[in-house]
Structure 1
Amino acid sequence: MRSRPIRVMIVDDSAIVRQVASEAINAQPDMTVLATAVDPLFAIDKMRKEWPDVVVLDIEMPRMDGLTFLRKLMAERPTPVVICSTLVESGAKASFEALSAGAVGLVTKPKFGLKQFLQDESDSLVAAVRAAASARLRPAKAARAPEVVPRPKLTLDDLPRGPRLARNGERSRIVAIGTSTGGTLALEAVLTALPEDVPGMVVVQHMPAGFTEMFARRLNGLCRIQVREACHGDRVEPGLALIAPGGRHMQVARDANGYFVGVVDGPLINRHKPSVDVLFRSVARVAGGNALGIIMTGMGDDGALGLKEMREAGAATIAESEETCVVFGMPREAILRGAAGSVLPLHDISGGLLAWSHGREG
């Protein structure tokens, strides 16, 4: 248990953001706003006097932009950072650069109607700050975004040995992945290591509405597999990963031609939409032992019960180990519930997936 409140610094050139965010944070018994600053240079001066536990950071600011400040912070004294970004393409692109540079959370703000929006979405901000306070940061070098260049093809010697599946066997298999805080980098690490012939994948990453399309496009440019934001009715195909849209649940169904996804509205489940539990439970129902479930870094317990249902239905299941999790929440709950057939560090999860897909569950 934390012996004192989470000390938060808010760095944003908008007075409305500073005011409303401060009110939301100070209303929590386990949080307090240590200071606010209109830009990073003022923030640096204040941080020299007292260092915060979490920084809520805007991207577009005068004198020094948030991305430059974040990189400086991660190089000199790594500190959990939650990005507060406008939902425009330039803001979304910079936000993913920030996540690759070490930021652990992302909340969105509109260009208009800002005060009412922030008041309505204050729970999301508070949850992001609380998750960030629990984060274990990786070294700055490991957090840098990789160059977007074509990756070399895997050879047969690079793949686990095992019987190859017939094409109909490949289509009968499906991989479901769920993750949250720290998950953007975790997903990047797993998906960029996969060859084009892996079984189809369905993914829930807790992320605000509007950012998942940009996230999917970014991954698509880094991976050998195809990655895109899911649309209602999309087919789950080998070599394709479908990312659940922010603000919508994603479920898997099956017909004579294979798996397809339903993208639907609905209430928050475990405080999230999309919810990992919603995805995992649907996969347990329609795929059973033909599925692999993977749960990775994130705060809370979303996905733990769904992963258990998958395992009870005969699916192989993997939880990320504590040693590599940014936040060891969701995997921990899955392990405690007996949902994890294997517990693997992040760097071994893609290998476990490949071993399973080639007929050798690991």
Structure 2
Amino acid sequence: MRVTISGAGVGGLALARGLLDAGHEVTVLEEAPRRRSGGAALTLWPNGTDVLNRLGVPIDDLGRRIDVLEATTGRGASLSRVDVAAISDRLGAPTRTVLRDELIERLSAGLPDGTIRFSASVADAEVDVAGVTLTTTSGERYFSDVAVGADGNRSRLRVVPSTPTEWISWQGVTRVPATISDSHETRMMIDRSGAVGLMPCGDGRLLWWFDVDHAQTSWGPDAPAPEVVERLRDQFADYGDPVPTILEALTPGMAEPYPHHTHRVPPVWGRGTLTLLGDAAHTMPPSMGQGANQTLQDVHALLEALRRAAPTGGPALEAALRGYERDRARRIRPIAAMAGRETSISYRPPVLTRLLPDRVAQSLQEKLIRRSSASLS
């Protein structure tokens, strides 16, 4: 079977590997002129690492294992503490923070030459009973039995647009002292000014991000880079260690903006033998740390749907794709709704936060991961 994938991100490359292993002919169209870089790091919970294990993509040597997720006030007073290691043990797969660049490189390794076509931006799709033809902005046409849009929030193959929220994460990766980088703990510091995330990501590096509600500020994502540095320093000046150290080390351009978007998850998101996965199908803010994980779950579910339907083809193939979409939509809606409300980064008085016992928060996190997962369940 011939499959064309739009987008050479985590989802597109993971799907390509799975399809090639199953003996299909695969072409990945990527609008960038070379392999993408940037995007800081991402958290792979057990529902993400489980899929990578199934695809034969080892990541034990990448990033940093995460065993604890702690929420504190800006000054450092503990609000909650989740035993991530216990969740990982029960679900049978680890939780790791991995640089996006390193994961993309690992997923790309071993792909046959010519699998990825760079500078190939998809502009349109023609769907008929024979298959799908993707046309690039330069006029090249790619016909395949199945086409998959894995091209993110701005996908041109998606029908329902996403909606920006008022929140933006200003993020980056910095080398820090070993006392910080060697930890296996993720820390969220939440106060009236916004939220700060601190996550070790291996090799002496720390992923940090500043979540800012720009509806409450006089500046926005279009502010000049030097102004961004000064604004972040002012807004988070009262936060405790190690935030002052990170702010002091900031230089213009170091903090990369990541605007948050929400998206109504439709019951189906494809037509004919064209389907979507990841942010192209269900964009959500990063506040639940599930974007990449749900993308990888899409990959697993789509590979299973194609495995069952590929020998038959025709209407059975279309039915399998719609079944994949309905099942994933059902699983994703609760976690996408929670992420869309931005509750995990919005300030609440500490007394209210402490009313939720740690064991309850831990149980809820595990249930969300399990119920949204196709591979773990």
Give the TM bin, normalised by the shorter chain: under 0.3
TM-score, normalised with respect to structure 1: 0.27
Q: By percentage of residues, which structure has more strand?
A: 2
TM-score, normalised with respect to structure 2: 0.26
Higher relative contact order (CA 8 A, sep 6+): 2
